[in-house]
A and B are shown apart, each in its own frame.
Chain A
């Protein structure tokens, strides 16, 4: 071994003593753990914001679907639905708006023989109301009308029935210009009235509240 090699070896040993690498496992583990986190700190915020947005949208959708949420008014009157109950008069025996004279018989609870009712399609109902009343009237799917009945009514009037479970309601639609609040004979039925755009609707049934009237709309 040369002197040069001897000196180099002594120097190398000194270098190794002064620059002895520590155990770097902790550093590697720290980096490994750090690598399992999201690479960008704002990714977490993005994910959280997206989750909140999705929750809001789902809640909004459920709220709307539930029917309790706000809805876009399809006509000018839907946002201000006003339904008034028409008092039943013992004196009256006719519908002042020209309904059939034997209304007292109709006003009784409809016979069960009417069930089942053929259901009027949305298109047919819209077509019928357009032809009869001069404007399209829509009704909610939950209370779809049976086949409209026009027998013995004025040509500009329309009546139909709808079912809520085993209960049946009768609805009359009349143009506002021809409206006259009817009087009905005393019975166990109730009558409600609602003005929907150019149409006035009456609902007669023995239910404690109107069933069809709230869902009537007249699209613009």
Chain B
């Protein structure tokens, strides 16, 4: 997602669309991270892009696109999440498609994945547990992890998109992984003690 610097007084709608095309995958991951799910992330990206399109005069330099657009996507996703939560709180019946929120394992006996990486249950159930564990993270660490794992961004690009220092992005990813490992294996702390294989 490295953007070529297009320094200039303004960004045309066409140039904006080009930058959006290059960053759309990362922006989608950011929206999904804030929402906590993939549903609705595409709508958030589109809404954010249209909002940004109407404020192009605020984007003075093209090389500031990531931070500027990332902020708009985050705000848009937060608003969408609040609307969703508000809508749910007003419902008398459960949501049609509730997000799976299984309780994370509390001990190795309840672990959904063995310390050596072997799944203790079927993949679908494991994926539900991973998503539930992700939901326990704060927005920014979750976004850092998704951008690293799904969008396969480098820490420098993540730091631009989230407007945080590169070291902070790295730390967020590290802590998020640790947190997920703990919750899914039921083993607190590092697992480095049990190396297997060559």
Specify which chain B residues have a CB less than 8 angstroms from the CB of A16 in the assembled complex.
149-150
Interface size bracket, A side = 20 to 34
Q: Which of A33-41, A68-76, A127-135, A160-168 contacts B (4 or more CB under 8 A)?
A: A33-41
Q: Which of B49-57, B85-93, B153-161, B163-171 contacts A (4 or more CB under 8 A)?
A: B49-57
- A residues neighboring B (CB under 8 Å): 1-4, 6-12, 14-22, 24-25, 27-28, 30-32, 34-36, 39
**Could you name 18 residue pairs across A and B whose Cβ atoms are closer than 8 Å?**
A3-B115, A3-B116, A3-B192, A4-B190, A7-B115, A8-B181, A10-B117, A11-B113, A12-B149, A20-B150, A21-B32, A21-B150, A22-B28, A27-B24, A30-B46, A31-B49, A31-B50, A35-B13
- B residues neighboring A (CB under 8 Å): 13-14, 16-17, 20-21, 24-25, 28-29, 32, 38, 41-42, 45-46, 49-50, 53-54, 56, 113, 115-117, 119, 123, 126-127, 130-131, 134, 145-146, 149-151, 177, 180-181, 184-185, 190-192, 194-197
Given contacts A7-B115, A7-B191, contact A1 B197 (CB under 8 A): yes
Specify which chain A residues have a CB less than 8 angstroms from the CB of B149 in the assembled complex.
12, 15-16
| Interface SS of B by simple majority | helix
Identify the interface centre among A15, A17, A36: most chain B CB within 10 Å of its CB. A15
Count CB-based A-B contacts (< 8 Å): 119
Specify which chain B residues have a CB less than 8 angstroms from the CB of A24 in the assembled complex.
21, 24-25, 28, 42, 45
Tell whether, in the assembled complex, residue B42 and residue A27 are in contact, meaning their CB atoms are under 8 Å apart.
Answer: yes
